[in-house]
A and B are shown apart, each in its own frame.
Chain A
Amino acid sequence: QSALTQPPSASGSPGQSVTISCAGTSSDVGGYSYVSWYQQHPGKAPKLMIYEVTKRPSGVPDRFSGSKSGNTASLTVSGLQAEDEADYYCSSYAGGNVVFGGGTKLTVL
């Protein structure tokens, strides 16, 4: 299994929107509705932000949203805030296995 493909970096100014992509194949992202997204601040454990492609856990701001088209999933952060600066990872079920993306460093300018 290969890692999902994410852009290494993304950026935006406070208040703007940013979208991070997560490209996979029909054996993972495209084949199941089990894509999740995690936020990781330096030195901390990852935090669940989105699950089952579009669902937000309790406590996650509605500025975070997820979507999927074909073999590519996306995370959109609207109304960027300084505390959104972090690394973001996508993950997908892959037929008995789990695969992560390589991660995207989001910078708030």
Chain B
Amino acid sequence: QVQLQESGPGLVKPSQTLSLTCTVSGGSVSSGSYYWSWIRQPAGKGLEWIGRIYTRGSTNTNYNPSLKSRVTISLDTSKNQFSLELTSVTAADTAVYYCARMEWLEYFDYWGQGTLVTVSS
């Protein structure tokens, strides 16, 4: 059974960088059959796809165009983890952040439980 678990600070100051890690068990982030994704959800609002990383020969990323200038997703195969960095955060980045596995056929089959990140001074 694949499991994903987000971890990282729950509070980030405005203008700083939000950093989260997703630890995967029951599956390998090196598998070329999946994308490893980040999604967020502000309180009371809908889901927003942030981006994804995958390996097929080389490591590749896709990012939401609206966030692309501030987002970096990376992979640590030795720890079976992938990470999210979001720079220059504002209150609008306050949300529950989910990591998820995405099948090659473009659907999310496994999700982490989510972690709340609040941007506030």
Contact = CB atoms under 8 A, between A and B. Distances in A.
Interface of A: 1, 3, 32, 34, 36, 38, 45-48, 51-52, 57, 89, 91-93, 96-103
Contacts, number: 64
A74 B106 CA distance: 17
Given A46-B47, A51-B103, A102-B46, A97 B108 contact: no
A106 to B, nearest CB: 14
Contacts of A96: 62
Contacts of B112: 45
Nearest to A89: B47
A1 B64 contact: yes
B46 A101 contact: yes
A36 B109 CA distance: 10
A68 B111 CA distance: 25
Given A1-B64, A96-B62, A45 B105 contact: no
Contacts of A48: 107-109
Given A51-B105, A97-B65, A45 B98 contact: yes
A100 B112 CA distance: 18
Contacts of A52: 105, 107
